[in-house]
Amino acid sequence: MKPANNTTFFATLRDLPWLWSVAGAVIVGIAAMMSFGAFTAGNMLSAASAFVVFTVLVGLGQMLVVTSGPGNIDLSIPATIALSGGVAMRVMAAHDGALAAGIVAAVGTGIAIGLFNYALIRLLRIPPIIATLSSSFVLQSTAISLGRGSAAPPPMLENFALSHVAGVSSLAFVALAATALVAIALFRLVPGRSLSAVGQNARAANLAGVRVERVRCATYVSCSVLVAIAALLLASFSGGATLDMGADYMLLSVAVVVIGGTQVSGGRASPTGVWGAACFLFLINALLNASGAGAGVRAVVYGGLIIVVTTIAGGSPAARR
């Protein structure tokens, strides 16, 4: 009976890919509490509720792209953040009355970038990793031209970005709402199930009547829109848009997707895992900062975690062949 019980246990773990990242975040949180005390750990968690929001939003976008199948990844995320944030700030020009126009501008920029990325992939037959990397140079150049004299965020938006409710950042509720919408679309609606089908086997999905290219187009657009929303909030939180404000999110977007349990080969997404991984990496980063580790050490740690998690998720060498 024991082998059967063990088999059931491991099968349950496979059905809960987000469990590892959430458990890791809890363990690191407990370690922080033991190292720095409850008060400092509480302040750390309060800060985490704001800073992980941006990682969660870009992670959700990257998760959708990765779920669409092997080889799909969006490397234009940092440039998308720079351009979308810059456009939104210029449109609003620090006026509360232009808040709605700024939000529309950010989302519209995200839609345009997503369509541009997909056009490079589909029309020019460029592999996604090359297409989005090439796109990032175009977007970054546009952001550089636009970035001169970038305005501060409107006071209303900045106050919201910096506000807290019961010690939790107001931005966290925006990210929770976005996560809920993504989860509903993925697991309850036809487009989400179509995305999983395309990620598992695009040819079989096409034979089953799924409009594969329409799904892929919607995926890249959705990713860029989520990143654009993250850019708007990040610029508001930081006091304005800068050209390098998205630099850290390329590695982070991939890290939270892989560590969070999304299947790298496509077909299985894990929105809850993105949250767990974002919190886990933030707390790891906080502990490394407290120990005096530099940015290079943090990058090595993130890369090592991705390698370890990917290796574990891939199973034995025989299974990966």
Token pair for 146: 């636009």
pLDDT band per the 50, 70, 90 thresholds, residue 14: low
Asked if residue 59 is part of any domain, the answer here is yes
15 pLDDT more than 70: no
pLDDT of residue 152: 84
Q: Angle CA(264)–CA(298)–CA(163) in degrees, nearest 5?
A: 90
Q: Is residue 184 part of a domain?
A: yes
Name the amino acid, one letter, at 52.
V
Q: What residues make up the domain containing 125? A: 19-29+48-314
Q: Does some domain include residue 206? A: yes
Strand partners, 164: 169
* 268 within some domain: yes
On the question of pLDDT at 283 being above 90, the answer is no
Task: Look at the chain and report how many structural domains it folds into.
Answer: 1
Q: What are phi and psi of 97, to 5 degrees?
A: -65, -20
Give tens-digit pLDDT for 133-162: 999 999 999 988 876 656 789 999 999 999
Residue 194 belongs to a domain with what CATH number? 1.10.3470
Percentage of the chain lying above the pLDDT 90 cut: 56
What sign does the dihedral 191-192-196-199 (CA atoms) show? positive
Model confidence, pTM: 0.89
